[in-house]
Amino acid sequence: MSADAPGETPAEEAAPAAARPPAARGSAPVEPAGPRAGRFWSARRVPAGLLALVLLGATGLLLYDVAAVRADRPAMHWRRALADHLDRWRLDEVAVLAVAAAVVLLGLWLLVLAATPGLRAVLPMRRDHPGVRAGLDREAAALVLRDRAVEVSGVQSAKVRVGRGRATVRARSHFRELDEVRADLDTALAIGLRELGLARPCVLTVRVARPTGRRT
């Protein structure tokens, strides 16, 4: 997710990176000790509900048709037509192979949904108490870091993107030397990341440039 400060004018002039502090090169703070905080699992309500409805309708229709046949009534037209089609189709036909591939892909997708936590937008926070779990939305984390960035002297605007393991900050500086602004940003944002209390500290990347029409 990303957060933009108002008044940003995007025309980036790359700043020299000779005196770049360690935090700007992508170093991560040391993860504090404590109970392991895993990712939050999604309930998967939508795919589970859709699959349940499809299976319920298909099995209900099939059971009704089987019961009708047992009661000496003719089978439904769709089942007779399906049996005739399946009898004529060959396993090496393109249509059969395409349907089989689609079913396999659908099955793999459902397995991936069942085996992965989901909720990628929620970052797990450090567990200081074993019975308590908390998470922080990526957009909220980006807003906090953006507010920290625009408080630095010389920063006109900032754009922050927070991922699962990386926080990328792009700032515009309208005065002061870019290296000085970057150093202050590294310090302020490193403190901000620690204060977020994330279970997996993000790697910080900071880029500073001049707004449109200004020269480095």
pTM of the complete model:
0.55
Mean per-residue pLDDT for 6-24? 41
Residue 34: per-residue pLDDT: 54
Each residue of 128-187: pLDDT tens digit?
Answer: 777 777 788 888 889 999 999 999 999 999 999 998 888 999 999 988 899 999 999 999
Helices within 42-177 (DSSP H only)? 45-70, 77-88, 94-115, 138-150
- Beta strands across the sheet bearing 155-162: 2-4, 155-162, 166-173, 203-209
Q: What is the mean pLDDT of residues 69-95?
A: 80
Joined together, the tokens standing for residue 20 give: 């770049």
Read off the pLDDT of each residue in 97-102 and give the average, rounded to a whole number: 90
| C-alpha span between 10 and 73 (Å, rounded) | 73
Q: What is the pLDDT of residue 214?
A: 52
Residues 6+ apart with CB under 8 A from 135: 40, 119, 122, 123, 124, 125
- Phi, psi for 18 (deg, rounded to 5): -70, -45
Compute φ and ψ for 131, nearest 5 degrees: -90, 5
Read off the pLDDT of each residue in 96-117 and give the average, rounded to a whole number: 83
Element (H, E) at 181: helix 178-196
pLDDT at 4: 52
